Amino acid sequence: MMDPILTSRIMSDVLGGLTNGVMYGLVALSLVLVWRSTGILNFAQGAMPMFATYLGMGLLSYHLSYWPCVAISIVAGFAIGGVTERVLVRSLYGKPEINPVVVMVGFLIVLEAVASAIWSTTPRGLPSPFSPIDWQIGGKPFGLSDFTLYEIVTGVIVMVAVAALFRFTKLGLQLRAAALAPEVSRLLGVRVGRMLTLGWMLSTAVGTITTVLVASNYFTGLTPQVMDSIFAFGFIAAAVGGLDSPVGALVAGVSLGIILQFVSDYLNSNAIIIVALIFLIVSLMVRPSGLFTKSSARRV
């Protein structure tokens, strides 16, 4: 009785949108991470993890297996995030808000140019750790595969871990305090400099996990621009959910993914950008600070 429903076009769109939405939510989460811990919006949040993924997954050419390369990519993400904060971003704190925007957009352009020069723009296929073939029910495709389940489960685990970090741990409280009230935090014994660096490290590591998932997709592969469109939709999800809300990043990302999947299937794939912008504009008109951001002043 359930087979026609599970294998229907609508269910396929929901599952496909869920998979894409988890990726958007992870990007939004990485933006929320760096915003909550440093108060800066990182427009190179797609390019930095891309570069880290090239550094790690490039070792596949030296006969290193998939999982060690994933681990090295994440470590490279931590390192790139930390070095970027120390060298490039540290002097931008307290400056006009446009300053870090311009610097990070420039950094995005530089990273993609350097990656293109080193590894070329030809898509580099990565081995899939799980089968990308859709499951079947009664001889009909279900819309999920081992690989898409891997994407969804990994994304949810990362999102829950980050949400728990900020809500239930002393470290999460220190990260927020370092961004909101650095001088007071120093008086209370918080190592503000270390917290700011850690925020960028965590953010880039989360972004690297997302990039590995996206690039491991058979249809995507790894390119210097692999995260550009994902970042755009993740940015919209972060703005809609609220830059202070990890839960909002998840909900807005998944919602956006499902909506755009239906638009692509039933209307026109070229209309998804317009619909995403409408989704952003309407949401911000209803609640400018984000749907999941408390309107009252934050306390740490």
Q: What is the pTM of this model?
A: 0.90
pLDDT at 40: 87
120: left (phi over 0), alpha (psi -120 to 50) or beta: left
Query: Which candidate, 225, 236, 219, 224, places its Cα nearest to that of 275?
Result: 236
Closest CA to 224 of 115, 110, 139: 115
- pLDDT tens string, the chain, 300 residues long: the values are 456 676 788 888 898 999 999 999 999 999 988 888 788 889 999 999 999 999 999 999 898 999 999 999 999 999 999 999 999 998 888 788 889 999 999 999 999 999 999 999 999 989 888 988 888 877 777 778 899 999 999 988 998 888 888 888 888 888 878 777 777 888 778 888 888 899 999 999 999 999 999 999 877 789 999 999 999 999 999 999 988 888 888 899 999 999 999 999 898 888 999 999 999 999 888 888 888 876 544 444
Domain ranges of the chain: 3-227
- Residue 222: predicted pLDDT: 93
* pLDDT, position 81: 96
Q: Which residues contact 38 (CB under 8 A, 6 or more apart)?
A: 85, 89, 93, 178, 179, 196, 199, 200
Q: Is 36 exposed, middle or buried (0-12, 13-18, 19+ CB in 10 A)?
A: buried
